Amino acid sequence: MCVCGWKSADHATMAGAPTDFDLTYLRAASFPLGLCYLILASIFVSQQTLFSCPKTLCGRAKLVGQQAHLRFFHASMTLCCIIRFSSFAAISVFEITGLLDTGISGSDEAQQYTWQGKLFTNAFTVMFNMPDIITVCTYLLLVLIFAEVYQESRLHLFDSLDFRRKWLYGYIVLVMVFFGAQIILFVLLFSVNDDGGGLQLSVYLFVTVCNICVVIIFVAFSIYLSITFSGFPYKGEIQRERMRKVASVVNWWTAGRVLWGLTTLTGASEPWLAMLPAWAAPMVITGALVMSEVLPFSWVLYGNFYSMLAMDTSQSYADEAGTLLWPVSYTHLRAHETEADL
């Protein structure tokens, strides 16, 4: 699925090179999509102050780690929306000023895929695909938050800090791999002659692989958590509700990653957008982005997600009589027994 391009000389001999139609559906979809991401970015920026409050207002010191993950999660969504808006705004501006058509010149028989056209196409490929990896890494961070809430909601005897440490290391490694591979592809895209469009196709296939991989990781991680904590009950209804809320958000995001992964896969491997009517292609790409990114982002904002996670309930639970209890260590119990004996 080439996002933009300049008309090529021979569509048959340069099947991988972007054609003039490849930008047609983005021309029509750029304004509504840019408006959606502008609204989301504005809301995210306005809510950034929620994560700058003092520690005493945010909760106990033990929640600082999760609060830091939430701040980073919020900042990642904000960055993704800003980049998305910038790319669609640039397409709209170029369309209005007529710059999108200046690279098409000469007779129909001798039109060349010039270096200006290649630079233009590669630049928009980078702008269009960079937010994809940011969204993938943001989804991974959401999975990490899901795991933390899962183990906090259960009354277990494991070392929570050891769990968090291992999960955080795994997240950092995956993020480095994803961004490192994408940077390498972007460098090759600008430095290697890619008349056949193989590198540009590789960029979209890499996005597809990343989206499918993170979904598989989430499914495997969910099975692992279910097995590991299967014998431990919830601490209470508040913890159960927090777990349900986080799970609903993760499920929204998971469906979005699957949808966008399939969209990039089918769009990159088969030019099915070119087979649609001119009015249908913009609707398809708009619907895919709305379902895979705009709605999951909005669900985080308006689904009571942040306020639910801000509740300090990780170490307390209520028994059937409603009495609030806290799990304590064996040493603590022995100290009370010794005091009673004295």
Q: What is the mean pLDDT of residues 99-104?
A: 52
Q: Structure tokens of 238?
A: 């508040």
Give the end-to-end CA distance of the chain in Å, rounded to a whole number. Answer: 78
Alpha-carbon distance of 50 to 226, in angstroms, equals: 32
What pLDDT shows up at residue 133?
A: 92
Of residues 178 and 8, which shows the higher confidence score?
178
Is 4 in a helix, a strand, or coil? coil
Residue 56: pLDDT band (50, 70, 90) is: very low
User: Which stretch, 72-76, 91-95, 210-214, has highest mean pLDDT?
Assistant: 210-214
Alpha-carbon distance of 168 to 292, in angstroms, equals: 25
Residue 274: pLDDT band (50, 70, 90) is: low
Q: Are 173 and 137 in contact (CB under 8 A)?
A: no
* pLDDT higher than 50, residue 260: yes
Q: What is the mean pLDDT of residues 62-76?
A: 73
* pLDDT higher than 50, residue 107: no
* pLDDT higher than 90, residue 220: yes
Of residues 253 and 10, which shows the higher confidence score?
253
Q: What is the mean pLDDT of residues 100-110?
A: 46
What pLDDT shows up at residue 267?
A: 67
pLDDT tens-digit profile of 232-248? 888 888 888 888 888 98
What pLDDT shows up at residue 52?
A: 52
pLDDT tens-digit profile of 141-197? 999 999 988 988 888 888 888 888 888 899 999 999 999 999 999 999 888 876 666
**DSSP, res 234:** B
Q: Structure tokens of 295?
A: 């709605």
Q: What is the mean pLDDT of the chain?
A: 75
**Looking up tokens 């959606």, which residue turns up?**
36
What pLDDT shows up at residue 283?
A: 82
Per-residue burial over 36-55, b = 16 or more CB atoms within 10 Å of its CB, e = otherwise: bbbebbebbeeeeeebeeee
What pLDDT shows up at residue 72?
A: 87
What pLDDT shows up at residue 50?
A: 59
- Whole-prediction pTM value? 0.77
Residue 334: pLDDT band (50, 70, 90) is: low
Q: What share of the chain is helix, strand, coil (3-state, %, to 5)?
A: 75, 0, 25
* pLDDT higher than 60, residue 82: yes
